[in-house]
Structure 1
Amino acid sequence: MRIAKVIGSAVATIKSDSLQGSTLLIVSEALPDGTPSGSGIVAVDTIGAGEGELVLISQGSAGRQTGSSRLRV
Structure 2
Amino acid sequence: MPRYVIQSAATGRFLTADPEGGEPMWVSLLQQAGGGVTDDRERVAQLMADYCEPEDFPQVVDLDRLGTANDYT
Into which bin does the TM-score normalised by the smaller protein fall? under 0.3
Q: TM-score, normalised by structure 1?
A: 0.24
Report 1 or 2 for greater relative contact order, CA contacts < 8 Å, sequence distance ≥ 6: 2
More helix by share: 2
